[in-house]
Amino acid sequence: MQYEVSTDRSRFDVDLIHTFLRSSYWAANMPRDILDRAIRHALCFGVFSGQTQVAFARVITDYATFAYLADLFVVPEHRGRGVSKLLLRSILDHPELQGLRRFLLATKDAHGLYAQFGFKPLANPDDFMTIHHPDVYKKESRA
């Protein structure tokens, strides 16, 4: 199967991205308007088989020092064929993402994938702090 990676937002199948993300463990119930804004303000990558989008990822970055990799997924029918590895290679080779001091991500179970690309567990997790609202997309949180 031939796959192509693109950062051209006009090609993205936002309905597909929304359907996947709103059912994901990390962005459950994400509203469409929030996704539209999140795509608009990030460097986003799609993987395509012909015109059909089969994978997605967002890189939130200042293009100088820091990047955060988010919302990476491959649609189930195209898993196990190296699509996520093609996507990660394209992200890490992207000319505007070179020389960063830190590239961060969070994952529940795909450590083995990211480790292949040089990501390591936090050496000093106690140095990091977060404000985290996992229920932010629940109806009552948005009222």
Question: Position of tokens 């990047």?
Answer: 67
Q: Between residues 26 and 64, which has the closer beta carbon with respect to ligand COA?
A: 26
Q: Are 134 and 106 in contact (CB under 8 A)?
A: no
Q: How far is the CB of 98 from ligand COA (least distance, A)?
A: 22
In the bound state with ligand COA, the residue whose beta carbon lies nearer, of 80 and 95, is 80
CA 61 to chain centroid, in Å, comes to 12
- In the complex, what is the shortest distance from the CB of residue 68 to ligand COA, in angstroms, rounded to a whole number? 12
Closer residue to ligand COA, CB minimum distance, 30 or 74: 74
Torsion-angle region of residue 125: left (phi > 0), alpha (psi -120 to 50) or beta?
A: alpha
Name residue 66's beta-bridge partners.
Answer: 102
- Is 64 or 115 the residue whose CB approaches ligand COA more closely? 115
The total of other beta-carbon atoms located within 10 Å of residue 124's CB is 6
Cα end-to-end span (Å), the chain: 45
Token output for 36: 């539209």
Nearest-approach distance from CB 112 to ligand COA, in angstroms: 3
Residue 140: CB minimum distance to ligand COA, A: 26
Q: Using CB under 6 A as the criterion, which residues of the chain lie in contact with ligand COA when the complex forms?
A: 72-74, 79-85, 107, 109-110, 112-113
